[in-house]
């Protein structure tokens, strides 16, 4: 199967869109939620790290499902 430049460009484009959407979602969550998760994680709060990790995984799953369909 021959991979064309158009397919590679489309894949890279969708990957960039997905990363951009994930970044926007994380920044929006930081703006809306009153807790400063970055400071909490720096202080060693594991629960804050778990919340941020769950947010990233859930948002990535939604973005992937939207891009695939």
Instruction: Provide the domain limits for residue 38.
Output: 5-68
Q: Quick one: pLDDT at residue 7? A: 84
The count of domains in the chain is 1
1 pLDDT above the threshold of 70 = no
Q: Quick one: pLDDT at residue 66? A: 84
CA-to-CA distance for 44 and 42, rounded, in angstroms? 5
Tens digits of residue pLDDT in 2-19: 678 888 888 889 889 989
From residue 58, give the alpha-carbon distance in Å to each of 6, 26, 27, 44, 52. 30, 11, 15, 23, 10
Please choose, from the candidates 60, 4, 3, the residue with its C-alpha nearest in 3D space to the C-alpha of residue 68: 60
Tens digits of residue pLDDT in 6-58: 888 888 898 899 899 999 998 999 899 999 999 999 999 999 999 999 999 99
């Amino acid at each position: 199967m021959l991979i064309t430049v158009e397919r590679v460009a489309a894949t890279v484009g969708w990957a960039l869109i997905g990363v951009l959407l994930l970044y926007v979602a994380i920044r929006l969550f930081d703006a809306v939620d009153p807790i400063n998760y970055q400071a909490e994680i720096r202080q060693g709060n594991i629960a804050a790290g778990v919340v941020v990790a769950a947010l990233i995984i859930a948002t990535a799953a939604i973005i992937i499902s939207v891009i695939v369909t």
